[in-house]
Structure 1
Amino acid sequence: MAQSLDQAIADFNPQLSLGVAFSGGADSTALLAAAWQRWPGQVVALHVNHGLQAAAAHFENHCKAFCADHAIPLLIEHVNAHAQAGQSPEDAARIARYQALVRMAKQASIASIALAQHADDQVETVLMALLRGGGLAGLAGMPTHWLRDGIEFHRPLLTVAGASVRLWLATHGLPFIEDPSNTDERYTRNKIRQRLLPVVYELFPHARETIARSAKHMWSAQQLLDVQAAEDADKVLDVGNGGVRIRALQQLAPERQQQVLRYWLKNAAYTTPTAAQMQELLRQVAACTTRGHSIHIKVGLGFVQRRGAFLVFAA
């Protein structure tokens, strides 16, 4: 069974002080207000203005007014979230947002950041990964907790249905903004939300719970692979230059090469190669038997390159 928002917040025990990523939308408004009720004086709202919509200034002004009305401290950062060549708009916005959240958290000595994704967002994420042929990491959905740049990130509402979040807001009479981009079907996630999920929930009323359970199984399996990848990383990574020893990498089976390369890129560059990029990288690694063999493969916002006996990531 999905939890109520009050239950989820009661079960949430982050290290304080807490920053809440606050867009002004329904989900982040509910999370911010509930967190402030539980820890008054120890919560800071963090608003990232991506500048991607004409209404961005309106969102920012709404956040200022809401926080002023409720005496909640607010930090705001403007970012350039426009996509670069080979990058999706969603990825560009996500990367810029996380970087800004970390900067604001460090500026205000914030220990933890809470994000407002809920159970329906998790269902969308898993379905997107499945339909795109994603691996274990994608099918595991969004994690509830992780550490990045010394800041603990949390998603305390992943067990709460989106309808429950809206009901909580209505009960408490709290205003929020409807983001018009949430219904723009140029984005795959919105197509799933608008067209697919109503049918899924009609046919399978407990889909939130069952998909969440499957994602948890996938997450457990991925954790085992990450443990193996970390052990392999100790053997193939060079601490001095942050690169991968090519010869040591070649001693591993291809499946373990793939896992350790994903582990390295995730931790060194906060990026994940596509399936095609990974297959090409593995092919190039296998073919790298001479001194003059060159490796230069686009991954995320940079390149995996050969430098002497090492693979390095160049942003």
Structure 2
Amino acid sequence: MAEPAILAALKGWQPALPLAVAYSGGADSTALLWACQQRYPGQVQAIHINHGLQAAASIFEAHCRAQCAAWDVPLQVVTVDAHPQSGQSPEDAARIARYQALARAAWTAAEGGQGGIQTMALAQHADDQVETVVLALSRGAGVAGLAGMRPQWERAGLHWARPYLALGSAQIRADLTALGIAWVEDPSNTDTRYTRNRIRNQVMPGLAQAFPQIAQTVARSSAHAAQAAELLDDLARMDLDSTGAPPRIRALQALSAARMANVLRYWLRSAHGQTPSAAQLAQLLSQLQRCTTRGHQIHIKVGLGYIQRHRDVIDWYNPPVLV
């Protein structure tokens, strides 16, 4: 019998061990958890995030507990508050809460004597990557957005990896069915109030019909965009060395408009975790280019805070919320 694709996809992947799988109970994370347990026996844990956003959440959790018990995989369940803040989309709120909870769970596992988790494995696949790029296109994203999801990166002292980005959803489900492995379907995946679900259920079928190789071609385009984004980051780091952090206004004005925009995006993202909208960045560039006198004030909303002038520099701050 041929090796299942969900297991073959891990060939050549050499994660730092032990590793944890973000396990929702859905088909994709079920396949990844099974494959990791087969490939790295005794070195795998599972982390289930209960978002508490729907009635089925308790069913998902119960399924994950039962499956991990059957496979003898240690499981940590984390409950989070994923309700969006003002101005935040439900998808973004859930995603941010999930990643923060996964990082905390990795630290908790180490403190609890379960072994320090070195790698966090996520089950996003090729179809998810296409959806991500289409979503980025719909928002007018630059090369960083068009690069889609990264296959691996480091954050919060962890290695993060997506080993299934070259594997399609249909193949994952076919392998699970052939192996007789059950999973749960999230009913919210068909709720078209969410942008990603509209793309998945309304846009993706047409794309797949018109362009059967869309997942592979998008993967190539994403790789090209990721390379371009890396070069832009290299240039931004060089420019940030000359402008300082926080950036000096005169040093920023010595750059072309394109390089000024690039270094400001990089500074806001790397130093403050903020991504300005196109309109916010355009307003900031306009203000900086006109800032030629001591009395010129700059106070612009950017992300969840504000850019403000302080003498010869600009800086970002997030004012406290008064309650």
Question: What is the TM-score when the length of structure 1 is the normalising length?
Answer: 0.92
Larger mean CA deviation between 174-183 and 56-65 belongs to: 56-65
Q: Deviations over 1:111-165 (max 9, x none)?
A: 1111111000111111121232221111111111111122221111000010011
Alignment-derived partner of residue 272 in structure 1? 275
Change (3 A) 1:296 1:8: farther
| Alpha-carbon offset, residue 292 of structure 1 | 4.2
Tell me, in whole angstroms, the C-alpha distance in 2 between the residues paired with 1:296 and 1:46: 42
Tell me, in whole angstroms, the C-alpha distance in 1 between the residues paired with 2:84 and 2:296: 32
Larger mean CA deviation between 200-209 and 157-166 belongs to: 200-209
The correspondence for 1:213, drawn from 201, 220, 223, is: 220
Alignment-derived partner of residue 17 in structure 2? 16
- 8 Å contact kept, 2:247–2:315: yes
Alignment-derived partner of residue 98 in structure 2? 97
Task: Tell me the SS of whatever aligns to 1:271.
Answer: coil
User: Amino acid of the residue matched to residue 260 of structure 1?
Assistant: V
Q: Deviations over 1:78-128 (max 9, x none)?
A: 222211122111111111111111111223321111111100011111112
Identity of aligned residues (%): 54
- 8 Å contact kept, 2:249–2:314: yes
The correspondence for 1:155, drawn from 162, 165, 169, is: 162
The correspondence for 2:307, drawn from 304, 307, 313, is: 304
- Does 1:197 find its partner at 2:197? no
Q: Deviations over 1:234-263 (max 9, x none)?
A: 22233xxxx333332222211111111111
Alignment-derived partner of residue 35 in structure 2? 34
Q: Deviations over 1:42-96 (max 9, x none)?
A: 1111122222222222222222222122111112222222111221111111111
Aligned ranges 1:96-175 → 2 under 5 Å: 96-108=97-109, 109-175=116-182
| Alpha-carbon offset, residue 209 of structure 1 | 0.9
User: Amino acid of the residue matched to residue 277 of structure 1?
Assistant: Q
Task: List gaps (5 residues or longer) in structure 1.
Answer: none
Tell me, in whole angstroms, the C-alpha distance in 2 between the residues paired with 1:167 and 1:41: 26
Change (3 A) 1:225 1:57: same
RMSD: 1.8
- Does 1:81 find its partner at 2:82? yes
Change (3 A) 1:40 1:134: same
Alignment-derived partner of residue 241 in structure 2? 234
Tell me, in whole angstroms, the C-alpha distance in 2 between the residues paired with 1:173 and 1:299: 50
| Count of matched residue positions in the alignment of Structure 1 and Structure 2 | 309
Tell me, in whole angstroms, the C-alpha distance in 2 between the residues paired with 1:227 and 1:278: 20
